[in-house]
């Protein structure tokens, strides 16, 4: 692991400290012990990273797609080969259980393999013209330097998911990982270095979000900006990109409805709700935020769901028996706890969990289930981002679709039903970018992940994911 645990940022193929010599600490959320410190880069170093990526662009974009594929596949192979070390690093800085960390890293690496191949299928068009002596041809070219800011909840896959599409398209990248989880990003940089990316193609800048973010969103050499994080920060960064008219994609917050109809397969629905709600201690943007259960099966579902929730083991991520780890920071725990308390104070009933487990550490919240939740409560509107499951009872399809859509967000929604008509009609009526039908797994290399409304725009994964890193050039050729 020591080879992969870096203590510098990665710019232009070199490991660098901050010009000022300043560093910031990174903490293990399970123990609150310091893992180490990393360079707190400023404006000048970030500009150097952009310059390096800009300088590397002609070489990387000019390579044959089949040759870029080889480098990307080598990177993929190295990640798979070092997966156990990467798992340890990810759990140490983020807290999630080893098994989830492994799932994340391999799933994220899958995007590299996918875009290594997909980069060879960036087809143009030949459009019929109205004149004998004219041809209309469309070619697709990489946009240039792509800058990315990623969150702490998926420290590995949020990077590979974005970078793979950009690199596959022929762009060069500058990435700022979240301050809480930069080690996974730097480990990926180490492996990218070994895979043979030309210097300057892949850069990781660590440090203060605002300072680095201002350079990445305003620098004229950055042509594309991709962000995953909160809606509030995303809006600000989108505004900052306006002045230089960058291509932007945003994957922001969610408020996912998880709807269980009376004809659902109950075992599948309970398991799906547990996975969707409690994965990563409830800290994912596609987590079931509001669980709607039909009144005829409500009691049965509640009993089974509570029983399974009670069986989840809260603990440190490096213990193989752990199902749920710590939350990322004290603010996160406090917010989830506050939303839970607000709901209970306003009449919701607590069925299990909800205790802070100080015996494990200050960031551990026992997974909780509450019922009698009303749309007027804060927990209905706000992203919980913690292990608190809020259940709602509904009686008709129209009513539940209306409630499900009653939010500014539109990322993921889930429905469980065995009725074929409902399985087609309800997803079409939901204002969401993704709908799981009897399925709680959404992030796959071949599928377009992304939202609508204030959950953002742009897609990661699938053939569509390349569009965010490509521009269209049309040539009118006359002879
Ligand atoms: P979360 O609530 O998941 O922490 P944030 O939107 O705060 O979501 O963080 C997501 C990413 O955005 C992180 O990498 C963080 O460092 C970065 N970030 C936060 N604030 C800013 C900002 N003002 N400018 C640029 N990046 C920011």
pLDDT tens sequence across 104-158: 999 999 999 999 999 999 999 999 999 999 999 999 999 999 999 999 999 999 9
* Residue that is written with structure tokens 């269209």 in the block: 472
Let me know if 104 is a catalytic residue: no
pLDDT band, very low/low/confident/very high, at 381 (cuts 50, 70, 90): confident
Atom of ligand 1 nearest to the CA of 212: 25
Q: Which range, of 189-193, 256-260, 373-377, averages the lowest pLDDT?
A: 373-377
H or E element at residue 149: strand 145-149
Mean pLDDT of the chain: 97
339 close to 374: Cβ distance less than 8 angstroms: no
Residue 199's alpha-carbon distances to 38, 54, 163, 175, in angstroms, are 21, 11, 15, 15
What does DSSP assign to residue 27? E
Residue 27's alpha-carbon distances to 194, 230, 241, 328, 391, in angstroms, are 27, 21, 31, 10, 34
Under DSSP, is residue 313 helix (H, G, I), strand (E, B) or coil? coil
Let me know if 251 is a catalytic residue: yes
Cα 223 to Cα 440: distance, rounded to the nearest angstrom? 34
Confidence at residue 159, expressed as pLDDT on a 0 to 100 scale: 98
Atom of ligand 1 nearest to the CA of 210: 24
Atom of ligand 1 nearest to the CA of 178: 14
pLDDT in tens, 160-177: 999 999 999 999 999 999
pLDDT band, very low/low/confident/very high, at 85 (cuts 50, 70, 90): very high
What is the average pLDDT across 398-408? Answer: 97
C-beta of 209 in contact with ligand 1 (< 6 A): yes
The single residue of 45, 118, 251, 366 carrying the catalytic annotation is 251
Residue 458 pLDDT exceeds 70: yes
Confidence at residue 1, expressed as pLDDT on a 0 to 100 scale: 64
Residue 422's alpha-carbon distances to 27, 301, 410, 432, in angstroms, are 47, 20, 20, 16
Q: Which two tokens stand for residue 10?
A: 């990665």
457 close to 445: Cβ distance less than 8 angstroms: no
pLDDT band, very low/low/confident/very high, at 383 (cuts 50, 70, 90): confident
Taking the whole predicted model, whether its pTM rises above 0.95 is answered as yes
pLDDT in tens, 248-272: 999 999 999 999 999 999 999 999 9
CA of 130 to the centre of ligand 1 (A): 50
Q: Which two tokens stand for residue 99?
A: 């098994």
């Amino acid at each position: 692991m020591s080879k992969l645990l870096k203590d510098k940022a990665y710019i232009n193929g070199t490991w660098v400290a901050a010009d000022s010599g300043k560093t910031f600490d990174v903490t293990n959320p399970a123990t609150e012990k310091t893992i180490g410190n990393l360079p707190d880069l400023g404006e000048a170093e970030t500009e150097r990273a952009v310059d390096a990526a800009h300088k590397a662009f002609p070489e990387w974009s000019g390579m044959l797609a089949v040759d870029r594929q080889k480098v990307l596949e080598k990177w993929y192979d190295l990640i798979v080969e070092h997966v156990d070390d990467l798992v340890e690093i990810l759990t140490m800085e983020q807290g999630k259980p080893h098994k989830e960390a492994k799932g994340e890293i391999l799933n994220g690496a899958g995007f590299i393999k996918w875009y290594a191949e997909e980069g060879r299928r960036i087809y143009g068009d030949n459009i019929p013209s109205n004149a004998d002596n004219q041809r209309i041809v469309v070619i697709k070219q990489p946009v240039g330097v792509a800058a990315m800011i990623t969150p702490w909840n998926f420290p590995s896959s949020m990077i590979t998911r974005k970078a793979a599409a950009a690199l596959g398209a022929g762009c060069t990248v500058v990435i700022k990982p979240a301050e809480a989880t930069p080690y996974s990003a730097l480990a990926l940089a180490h492996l990218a270095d070994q895979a043979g990316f030309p210097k300057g193609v892949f850069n990781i800048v660590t440090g203060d979000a605002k300072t680095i973010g201002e350079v990445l969103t305003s620098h004229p050499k950055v042509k594309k900006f991709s962000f995953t994080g909160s809606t509030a920060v995303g809006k600000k960064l989108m505004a900052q990109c306006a002045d230089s008219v960058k291509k932007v994609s945003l994957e922001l917050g969610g408020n996912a409805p998880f709807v269980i109809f009376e004809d659902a397969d109950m075992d599948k629905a309970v398991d799906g709700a547990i996975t969707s709600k409690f994965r990563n201690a409830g800290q994912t943007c596609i987590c079931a935020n509001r669980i709607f259960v039909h009144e005829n099966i409500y009691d049965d579902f509640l009993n089974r769901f509570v029983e399974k929730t009670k069986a989840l083991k809260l603990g440190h991520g490096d213990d193989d028996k752990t199902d749920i780890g710590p939350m990322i920071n004290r603010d996160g725990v406090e917010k989830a706890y506050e939303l839970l308390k607000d709901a209970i104070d306003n009449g919701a009933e607590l069925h299990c969990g909800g205790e802070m487990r100080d015996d494990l550490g200050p960031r551990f919240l026992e997974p909780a289930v509450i019922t009698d939740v009303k749309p007027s409560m804060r927990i209905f509107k706000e992203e919980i981002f913690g292990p608190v499951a809020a259940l709602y009872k509904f009686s008709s399809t129209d009513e539940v679709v209306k409630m499900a859509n009653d939010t500014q967000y539109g990322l993921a929604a889930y429905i469980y039903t065995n009725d074929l008509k409902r399985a087609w009609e309800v997803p079409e009526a939901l204002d969401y970018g993704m709908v799981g039908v009897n399925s709680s797994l959404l992030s796959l290399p071949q599928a377009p992940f992304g939202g609508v409304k204030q959950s953002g725009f742009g897609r990661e994964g699938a053939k569509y994911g390349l569009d965010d890193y490509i521009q269209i050039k049309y040539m009118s050729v006359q002879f």
